[in-house]
């Protein structure tokens, strides 16, 4: 049931009763389907998207970077073995095989720029068949996982009275 997955992806806190109403399915069927997806690993986990800049008195205690990686492919495995090795590092949040001038794009989080730099120079670039990297630091997040972090614009319309 793709529709159930799409609803949960948008809002993992939706009650099963609401999902049943939105899909036209019985609540028991929705509950069973979600349980099956969790058991099979289709639903990997539930998470919150936090705008740390909006938490009063808190500033992001970490730096995020996108790192593009060029890899020399190997017969029989292509890029998969290098991507798997990169994905095992704690600093790495995601690894994608991409089209374009690089082969892999990684999202990496470190406590500061130096930590990300050390990760690239000491861990990532030393992996066999990694030919080059290009690091792009995130300066500000405007939207993540479908959530816009901008404050809503105030309504400047004049009130209408009868």
In tens, the pLDDT along 90-126 reads: 999 999 999 999 999 999 999 999 999 999 999 999 9
Alpha-helical segments (H) within the chain: 2-10, 16-23, 27-40, 80-87, 113-118
33: containing domain: 2-40
Number of neighbouring beta carbons within 10 Å of residue 118: 14
Residue 145 within any structural domain of the chain: no
Q: What is the pTM of this model?
A: 0.72
Residue 126 and residue 78 share a domain? yes
Residue 77 and residue 32 share a domain? no
- Reply yes or no on whether the pLDDT at 52 is more than 80: no
What burial class does residue 108 get, using C-beta atoms within 10 Å of its C-beta: 0-12 exposed, 13-18 middle, 19+ buried?
buried
Cα gap 162→157, rounded to integer Å: 16
Q: What is the CATH number of the domain that holds 127?
A: 3.30.70.920
Question: Which of 8-22, 32-46, 50-64 has the lowest average pLDDT?
Answer: 50-64
Cα gap 31→45, rounded to integer Å: 16
* pLDDT value for 119: 97
Cα gap 103→13, rounded to integer Å: 35
Residue 129 and residue 77 share a domain? yes
* pLDDT value for 57: 59
């Amino acid at each position: 049931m793709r529709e159930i997955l799409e609803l949960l992806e948008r809002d993992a806190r939706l009650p099963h009763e609401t999902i049943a109403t939105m899909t036209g399915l019985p609540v028991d069927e929705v509950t069973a389907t979600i349980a099956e997806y969790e058991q099979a690993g289709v639903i990997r986990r539930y998470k919150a998207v936090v705008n740390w800049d909006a938490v009063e008195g808190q500033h992001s205690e970490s730096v995020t970077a996108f790192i593009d990686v060029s890899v020399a492919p190997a017969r029989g495995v292509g890029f998969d073995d290098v991507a798997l090795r990169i994905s095992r590092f704690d600093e790495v949040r995601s690894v994608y095989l991409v089209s374009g001038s690089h082969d892999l794009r990684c999202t990496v989080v470190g406590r500061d720029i130096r930590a990300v730099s050390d990760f690239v120079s000491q861990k990532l670039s030393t992996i066999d068949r990694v030919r080059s990297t290009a690091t792009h630091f995130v300066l500000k997040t405007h939207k993540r996982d479908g959530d816009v972090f901008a404050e809503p614009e105030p309504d400047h319309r004049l009130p209408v009275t009868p």
